[in-house]
């Protein structure tokens, strides 16, 4: 009879990927998770395989590292080393002869793109067959993997889901922003693997980098640096200048695929431009693709403490204008990610969620990156637990010292311990709503409960009839600001200044109210509106003075999806020269787009569907702009159209799509208007049924 001769080897891509929960990920290779068995079929000619006459040895290669795995007839898959076990082969006298071999990787294997070879050693010959490549990912379904996550619902949300909701704005007027993580889009997984290869760590010492890639703590640190382009060939270039010529306005991105593809297509030149939520959303895509459970976090009123003293200094002049003396700043919101992993490098109790921040703010061990910082270590103020816990702790806990100055002389000082880290939030699993995670970062005594009024949460100021919080109560006079409704682009901003005389004598006061435009990550620019007048107030009296800022007065010069305003009032007691200040930062939100599906309850895979995007022009002038609609697994490519809409007119635009993937999907639309320069968003989640 002929000798045993391997004809072909089938890597069983469909069955293995379904079992490994990697089906849907698009790659040029087989995609597997570590710590789990997979099966290959060896088709052969000649006589049946005889382990006494020939040896089968798999060779598993990752860069300079190779492991030889002999096929054994009796063995168990192992979680600590590579194994290959021969399944009983069922003889088929007529059909092709086949052997089935179960290979399994250790739960601590490095993630990367491996090459698989098979060597057949007979008495007189040795033949090597190249079987192809496979990409190995982390495995949150495997208890021995350091990214293991117990709950199936959480694994679905934090690894498998590609639907994101990012939160921006201010605690009193939260803006929900759709984002498509796009990890299932064509070629994205391969680009995420490339990101590890382009990293300075891999370039400097390939062997060391590949060995370290068994550890998600290391992987997170590498990715955190590679998502920004500050020290390396990273993905995104940050730009907070308001001038986005030569690139894309950060507010116009709606998903990660466009950014990652552009980066790969230009030989790893940085994509222009990103801001914090873009950096974080792209990092979330990469981490989920690599199998590491990850979620996007927004910290409202986030302190950027440059000198490490845990205090942010703010300066105002007597007219209520905020001054840019300090390098410290409070970002209205800052967005980072948390990834779930064990921390064997720390003492016990710090496993679980870890802060990773790819926005380039400060260097960590010489590079612009941040984390992983255990959320538990931030909560416990354990500032020596690596990495970067003091920086994150300050972001959510710093005190704010507010000073009124004249010619660099301080006239009055107050300290606000509540403003920073006012609300820390993420998307609620399985829903398009917000989950408050503030209590995971700080104890109750550090946080003020956020009370909702009329659907808006408020802190430090209120809408309508809800309580008003005075920022500063001094002996003589108290002052606070009260927004009457959440401001929307195109409408006036209405607010009250409430002054209380705490003394039993009449007073003459000077009132200075000042409004400044600002970017979310730094101090405000020039004043665009102000009001100055004298106020007579009786003993123990409270007066309420209403102000309106018209749309014309605050209309933005540059395109933004939500503009921010710093509003401040200084009250000066003419007789005693005592001054008190109240300030509030708020966002002016844009109207949202509405998306409806023609037959929402029966959206079936591969069946054509129609969505209608509608929008009512709230302005008194005709507006024109560009509408784009996208949806991973729903639309092959973006639908784009130019629009002109008359004042108060409602337009409805049909968009045809054919779902390619079952499960929860999201259509998102954005409309970029030229004049007034505004970006609007809308989204609709759809449950696509398998046919």
List, by residue number, the catalytic residues.
Answer: 276, 334, 357
14: Cβ–Cβ under 8 A, 6 or more apart, which residues? 23
- The owner of tokens 């600590």 is 80
At residue 189, the 3 state secondary structure works out as helix
At residue 596, the 3 state secondary structure works out as strand
Identify the DSSP state of 154. H
- The owner of tokens 């052969």 is 44
Number of Cβ within a 10 Å radius of residue 644: 11
Rounded to an integer, what distance in angstroms lies between the CA atom of residue 42 and that of residue 450? 62
Q: Which helix (H) or strand (E) holds 560?
A: none
**Inter-helix orientation angle 276-289/216-226, to 10°:** 140
User: Vertex 373, ends 372 and 377: CA angle to 5°?
Assistant: 150
Number of Cβ within a 10 Å radius of residue 536: 10
- Dihedral of the alpha carbons of 532, 538, 541, 546, in degrees to the nearest 10: -30
Rounded to an integer, what distance in angstroms lies between the CA atom of residue 679 and that of residue 590? 7
What is the total residue count of the chain? 691
φ and ψ of 189, to 5 deg: -60, -40
Contact 537, 506 (CB under 8 A): yes
Rg (alpha carbons) of the chain, rounded to whole number: 30
Rounded to an integer, what distance in angstroms lies between the CA atom of residue 419 and that of residue 414? 13
């Amino acid at each position: 009879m002929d000798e045993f001769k391997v004809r072909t080897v089938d890597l069983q891509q469909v069955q293995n990927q379904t079992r490994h929960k990697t089906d849907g990920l698009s790659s040029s290779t087989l995609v597997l998770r570590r710590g789990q068995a997979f099966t290959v079929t060896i088709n052969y000619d000649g006589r049946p395989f005889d382990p006494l006459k020939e040896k089968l040895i798999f060779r598993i290669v990752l860069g300079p590292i190779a492991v030889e795995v002999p096929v054994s007839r009796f063995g168990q898959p192992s979680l600590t080393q590579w194994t290959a076990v021969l399944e009983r082969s069922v003889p088929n006298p007529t059909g092709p002869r086949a052997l089935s071999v179960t290979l399994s990787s250790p739960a601590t294997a490095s993630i990367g793109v491996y090459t698989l070879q098979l060597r057949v050693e007979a008495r007189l010959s040795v033949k090597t067959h190249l079987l192809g490549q496979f990409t190995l990912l982390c495995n949150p379904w495997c208890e021995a993997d350091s990214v293991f996550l117990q709950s199936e619902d959480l694994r679905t949300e934090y690894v498998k889901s590609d639907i994101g909701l990012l939160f921006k704005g201010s605690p009193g007027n939260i803006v929900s922003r759709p984002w498509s993580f796009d990890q299932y889009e064509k070629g994205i997984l391969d680009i995420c693997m490339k990101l590890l290869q382009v990293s300075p760590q891999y370039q400097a010492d390939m062997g060391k980098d590949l060995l370290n890639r068994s550890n998600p703590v290391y992987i997170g640190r590498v990715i955190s640096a590679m998502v920004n382009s500050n020290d390396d060939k990273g993905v995104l270039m940050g730009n907070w200048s308001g001038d986005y010529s030569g690139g894309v306005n950060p507010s116009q991105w709606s998903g990660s695929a466009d950014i990652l593809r552009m980066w790969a297509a230009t030989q790893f030149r940085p994509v222009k431009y990103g801001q914090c939520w873009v950096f974080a959303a792209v990092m979330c895509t990469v981490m989920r693709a690599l199998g590491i459970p990850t979620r996007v976090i927004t910290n409202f009123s986030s302190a950027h403490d440059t000198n490490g003293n845990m205090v942010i200094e703010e300066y105002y002049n007597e007219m209520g204008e905020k001054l840019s003396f300090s390098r410290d700043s409070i970002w209205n919101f800052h967005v980072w990610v948390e990834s779930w992993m064990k921390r064997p490098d720390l003492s016990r109790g710090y496993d679980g969620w870890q802060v990773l921040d790819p926005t380039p703010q400060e260097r960590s061990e010489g590079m612009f990156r941040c984390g992983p910082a255990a959320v538990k270590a931030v909560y416990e103020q354990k500032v020596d637990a690596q990495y970067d816990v003091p920086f994150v702790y300050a972001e959510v806990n710093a005190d704010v010292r507010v000073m009124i100055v004249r010619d660099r002389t301080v006239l009055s000082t107050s300290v606000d311990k509540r403003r920073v880290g006012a609300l820390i939030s993420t998307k609620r699993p399985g829903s398009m709503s917000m989950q408050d995670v503030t209590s995971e970062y700080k104890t109750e005594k550090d946080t003020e409960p956020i009370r909702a009024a009329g659907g808006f949460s408020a802190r430090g100021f209120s809408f309508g009839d809800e309580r008003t919080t005075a920022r500063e109560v001094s002996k003589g006079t108290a002052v606070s600001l009260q927004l009457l409704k959440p401001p929307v682009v195109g409408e006036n901003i209405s607010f009250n200044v409430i002054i209380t005389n705490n003394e039993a004598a009449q007073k003459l006061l000077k009132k200075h109210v000042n409004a400044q435009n600002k970017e979310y990550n730094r101090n405000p620019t020039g004043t665009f509106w102000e009001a100055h007048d004298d106020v007579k107030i009786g003993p123990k009296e409270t007066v309420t003075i209403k102000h309106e800022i018209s749309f014309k007065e605050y209309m933005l010069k540059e395109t933004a999806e939500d503009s921010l305003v710093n509003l401040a009032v200084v009250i000066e007691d003419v007789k005693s020269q005592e001054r008190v200040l109240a300030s509030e930062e708020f966002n002016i939100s844009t109207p949202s787009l509405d998306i409806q599906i023609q037959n929402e309850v029966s959206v079936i895979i591969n069946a054509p569907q129609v969505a209608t995007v509608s929008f009512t022009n709230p302005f008194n002038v005709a507006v024109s702009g560009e509408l784009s609609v996208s949806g991973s697994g729903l639309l092959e490519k973006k639908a784009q159209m130019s629009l002109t809409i008359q004042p108060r007119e409602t337009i409805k635009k049909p968009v045809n799509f054919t779902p390619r993937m079952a499960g929860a999907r999201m259509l998102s639309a954005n409309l970029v208007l030229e004049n007034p320069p505004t970006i609007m968003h809308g989204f609709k989640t759809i449950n696509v049924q398998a046919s």
